[in-house]
Amino acid sequence: MYALVVAKGGPKLTPGVLDETSGPSSSGRGLLKTKGENMRGFSDMLSDSLERVVVDKTGLTGVYDFALKWTPDLGDTPPKDNDGPSVFTAIQEQLGLKLEPQKGPVEMFVIDHVQKPSDN
């Protein structure tokens, strides 16, 4: 899991407004934009994008407009845009935040038994 914390130098966030236009405006591999989102919601969106749990430990309580662009790690396939920053660098440079690897409890769904349904 990752902890989202404030980087040295402090946050570089744009204050947002919570209204009917709030929420994600676009997201995908290497792009995340949202308006009027709190840090918990942003952490959840990062979790979805990174496919790993991200926990908000910034202590920031407001709502913000986020625009984050990075070069996604595609495993063995080299990225098309090699000039872009990694997600770790992008979060620090663009938002003044930092992702720190941590160990902690993670929710899991475990199936301990499966059987075919009986004929009725």
Domain boundaries, the chain: 2-101
Q: What is the DSSP letter of 77?
A: S
Query: pTM of the predicted model, to two decimals?
Result: 0.76
- DSSP secondary structure letter of residue 5: E
Encode pLDDT of 35-84 as tens digits.
Answer: 999 999 999 999 988 888 999 999 999 999 999 999 987 654 555 555 67
Instruction: Give the residue from 107, 13, 102 showing the smallest Cα distance to 63.
Output: 13
Which structure tokens are listed for 107?
């929710």
pLDDT at 48: 86
Of all residues in the chain, what percent carry a pLDDT higher than 90? 53
pLDDT at 21 over 60: yes
Query: Percentage of the chain with pLDDT > 70?
Result: 89
Interval 14-20 mean pLDDT: 85
pLDDT at position 25 over 80: no
Query: What pLDDT does 23 receive?
Result: 72
102: its two tokens: 């941590």
Q: How far is CA 79 from the centre of its chain?
A: 19
